[in-house]
């Protein structure tokens, strides 16, 4: 939810201030592949699985789909939002490590 708030704040600035400096550099084909892989992995989750299997699934999602890399595609010239975006990236990388550790039995 916190990450969504950051992206909504960026979106709000873009909508309310047409001159807001924002640059997005992304590969549309990469985004399509990402969404398709995510959908495939989530389909596995739609069945009744154990907590351990859920951790393994989400570790797989984090491992195969590097969410944090998407923040690199966003360039903004706003110190407050830039720091928040950097925090999102750090949090996402931390989530990946937590999920990988839980999937491996480390808690």
Q: Which domain holds residue 44?
A: 2-103
Q: What is the pTM of this model?
A: 0.64
pLDDT score, position 83: 94
Which three-class secondary structure string do you get for 2-61? HHHHHHHHHHHHHHHCCCCCEEECCCHHHHHHHHHHHHHHHHHHCCCCCHHHHHHHHHHH
pLDDT for position 24: 83
Domain total of the chain = 1
pLDDT in tens, 27-63: 888 878 878 887 887 777 667 777 777 777 777 766 6
């Amino acid at each position: 939810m916190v990450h969504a708030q950051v992206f909504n704040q960026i979106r709000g600035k873009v909508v309310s201030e047409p001159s807001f400096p924002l640059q997005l550099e992304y590969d549309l084909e990469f985004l399509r592949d990402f969404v398709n892989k995510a959908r495939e992995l989530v389909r596995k989750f739609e069945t009744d699985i154990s907590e351990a299997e859920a951790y393994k699934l989400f570790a797989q999602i984090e491992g195969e789909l590097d969410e944090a890399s998407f923040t690199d595609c966003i360039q903004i010239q706003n110190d407050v939002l830039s720091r928040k975006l950097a925090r999102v990236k750090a949090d996402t990388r931390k989530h990946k490590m937590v999920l990988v550790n839980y999937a491996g039995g480390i808690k």
